[in-house]
Amino acid sequence: MPVFTLGIEEEFQTIDPTTRDLRSHMSQIVEGGKMVLQEQVKAEMHQSVVEVGTTICHNIHEAREQVMHLRRQVIDLAGNVGLQIAAAGTHPFSRWQDQPITPDARYDKIVEELQDAARSNLVFGMHVHIGLENRDIGVYMMNSLRYFLPHLFALSTNSPFWEGRETGYKSFRTKVFERFPRTGIPDYFGSASEYDEYIEQLVKTGCIDNGKKIWWDLRLHPFFNTIEYRICDMMMRVDEVVAVAAVMQALVAKIYKLKLQNLNFRLYRKALINENKWRAARYGIDGKLIDFGKQEEVPTRALIHELLDFVDDVLDELGSRHEVEYILKMMEFGTGADRQLAVFRETGDLKKVVDYIISETHHGL
């Protein structure tokens, strides 16, 4: 089996420790971070967002070490300028209207085109890249892995609040991001050439200037041989990030193994998978997803257990059994959204929710 390398990107909130509101870091964190992290730290469109990303990791243990190192570094960098770092899909009460945009020609162009859809996109995600042999395998993976996106998403749900309101969703982040074009579950593509022709047509007709403006929940990267999972909320704990990334890698390995045996996971329509994505956004792991094979609703937790059984035979080869088993603990103590809501129902104070998110962001470091 090939080495399915990993890369993990995390988007953090920069918090004013007094007000607990989002506060612009004015690139101080990024500029300070360049000295120690080089290109692993960068600004995002809103000035209260800072992104860090690992280098190419050959296994999940390298990925964990780098995720922990980057979190420690960005926490220290924020502390040096009087700020704190929080990991969640949305801020519980900050208003996007109050958050300045980072001065940058690329962001200026996005805002000019998308207007308030871009200005209001004050959301925070976690992306995972898995390295592949070639683009044909990448499209094969993209087609097959789509089915599992709602399962992974349900585990990551961590954005129940928006602008001071309890939204009723376990992930409101995805509802905000859906205002962008070219988001959501990708379509099926017959080959890498068909996928590349689709990108070329969008570029040729002025829809996009490059393939990175395709913001699907799962995409074959336009420039690198990686499959990129983009559906997840930013999760609070390092253990959660590593566990979900380990399952993502295991799914790639499992689908690859089936392909070597001339087998494949059944492909389902985008419209059906979208039904499960909505359920995951609304209910997290406490709802039901559709089992398309049985054509009936099944508790999401049961389908996650089935997912773990599905990848079990590749975990030892990947060396990720311990990391994947943490998913069972996540289902015991709840997703980030469940825990945020529990704090709010106990205290009635969204500032206490922010304090909890900050403490969980430090957990395990």
Q: Of 74, 84, 103, which is closest to residue 9 (Cα–Cα)?
A: 74
CA distances for 120 relative to 72, 105, 180, 225, 354, angstroms = 29, 18, 10, 31, 20
Tokens 């022709």 — which residue? 197
CATH of the domain at 153: 3.30.590.20
Number of domain units in the chain: 1
Query: What is the value of pTM for the model shown?
Result: 0.95
- CB atoms < 10 A from the CB of 270, how many? 13
Question: For residue 92, what are the domain limits?
Answer: 6-362
Q: What pLDDT is recorded for position 26? A: 67
**Nearest-angstrom CA–CA distance, 75 and 171:** 25
**Nearest-angstrom CA–CA distance, 11 and 41:** 10
Burial class (CB in 10 A: 0-12, 13-18, 19+), 156: buried
**Nearest-angstrom CA–CA distance, 47 and 62:** 30
Burial class (CB in 10 A: 0-12, 13-18, 19+), 62: middle
Q: What pLDDT is recorded for position 60? A: 98
**Residues in contact with 112: Cβ distance below 8 Å, sequence separation at least 6, in sequence order:** none
Residue 239 belongs to some domain of the structure = yes
CA distances for 102 relative to 106, 107, 321, angstroms = 10, 7, 41
Q: Of 105, 81, 72, which is closest to residue 25 (Cα–Cα)?
A: 81
Backbone angles phi, psi at 8, to 5 degrees: -125, 130
Residue 1 belongs to some domain of the structure = no
Beta bridge partners of 290: 297
Alpha helices, H only, the chain:
28-37, 60-80, 105-114, 116-119, 135-145, 149-156, 173-177, 192-204, 238-260, 270-283, 300-318, 321-333, 336-347, 350-362
Residue 277 belongs to some domain of the structure = yes
- 273 and 146 Cβ atoms separated by less than 8 Å: yes
Residue 221 belongs to some domain of the structure = yes
- The CA angle 353-234-148, to the nearest 5 degrees, is 125
Residue 54 belongs to some domain of the structure = yes
Tens-of-pLDDT digits for all 365 residues of the chain?
A: 899 999 999 999 999 999 999 998 867 777 777 767 777 887 788 889 999 999 999 999 999 999 999 999 999 999 999 999 999 999 999 999 999 888 888 888 999 999 999 999 999 999 999 999 999 999 999 999 999 999 999 999 999 999 999 999 999 999 999 999 999 999 999 999 999 999 999 999 999 999 999 999 999 998 889 999 999 999 999 999 999 999 999 999 999 999 999 988 889 999 999 999 999 999 999 999 999 989 999 999 999 999 999 999 999 999 999 999 999 999 999 999 999 999 999 999 999 999 999 999 999 99
Identity of the amino acid at 244? V
**Nearest-angstrom CA–CA distance, 126 and 217:** 11
**Nearest-angstrom CA–CA distance, 214 and 230:** 11
